[in-house]
Amino acid sequence: MPESSSLDLPARGFEEVVTLIIKHRVKAGFEAPYETWLRNIVSVAGQQEGHLGVDVMRGKNAGLDMYTCVLRFCSTESMQHWLDSPQRQALVNEATPMLADGDQTEVNPVNEFWFAPQGETSSPPPRWKQAVVTLLVILPHTLLVPLLWGPLLQLNAVLSNYLVATFLITLTIVLSVVYLFMPMATRLFAPWLSPSTLPKETR
């Protein structure tokens, strides 16, 4: 059953969030050197401008160790800069002999990966389960965030303007959901969403 670890680094921006999903199936006997290589590339990627963090999920596929790395960037440009960088090209070339299927990459908006399957043979959870988890995250925000903002919005005429107040409340909800509570919720409910998925361990 897959297990995963979180290697998040501090967020550096909120302009636009995209996820770069990289899947590696490691040849038998190369597990230890791949783990060393993985920690090195995670460290190098973390130094790139626009990099927001990475989750590494470990599982099995056709008897081999399967690694799904989800890198978050603040913009498509930042992500592409990392993909095209000489550092990444050199590191991928170093890892190629250890990989059964090469370096597989795909790009998604960050929210599309919340309920994405972690293994190639897995399937996404039912939409009603996705809806339940999303509701559990969104509902408390819609009830509590306006209450928390209320006293501050009343201190200034500009802040109390309907459009400004709505923007600030909505922005708070979106950032809180995307960067904090939805990832936490999907980890918490992972066994219920997909029996083959274990919650991520944060470290």
CATH number of the domain to which 59 belongs: 3.30.70.100
Q: Rounded to an integer, what distance in angstroms lies between the CA atom of residue 26 and that of residue 28?
A: 6
DSSP β-ladder status, 51-61 and 18-26: unpaired
Q: Is the dihedral of CA 103, 98, 100, 64 positive or negative?
A: negative
Domain that holds residue 52: 3-113
Looking at 55, 88, 113, the residue that finishes a domain is: 113
| CA 124 to the chain's CA centroid | 16
Same domain, 10 and 69: yes
Indicate yes or no: pTM above 0.75: no
Q: How does pLDDT run along the chain (203 residues), one tens digit per residue? A: 344 444 433 344 444 678 888 999 999 999 999 999 999 999 999 898 888 888 888 888 888 999 988 888 888 888 999 999 999 999 999 999 999 999 988 876 545 555 555 554 455 677 788 888 888 988 998 999 999 998 888 888 888 888 888 888 888 888 888 777 887 887 788 778 765 443 443 33
> What is the phi/psi pair of residue 117, to 5°?
-65, 145
User: What is the C-alpha to C-alpha distance for residues 201 and 7, in angstroms, rounded to an integer?
Assistant: 10
Task: Give domain status of residue 121, yes or no.
Answer: no
Asked if residue 156 and residue 88 are part of one domain, the reply reads no
136 in the same domain as 104:
no
Tell me if 118 is assigned to some domain.
no
In terms of domains, do 51 and 147 share one? Answer: no
Assigned domain for 182 exists: yes
Count of domains observed in the chain: 2
**Residue 17 to residue 78: CA distance in whole angstroms:** 10
Domain boundary among 83, 113, 143: 113
113, 146, 174 - which closes a domain = 113
- Pairing relationship of beta strands 64-73 and 51-61 according to DSSP bridges: antiparallel
Assigned domain for 64 exists? yes
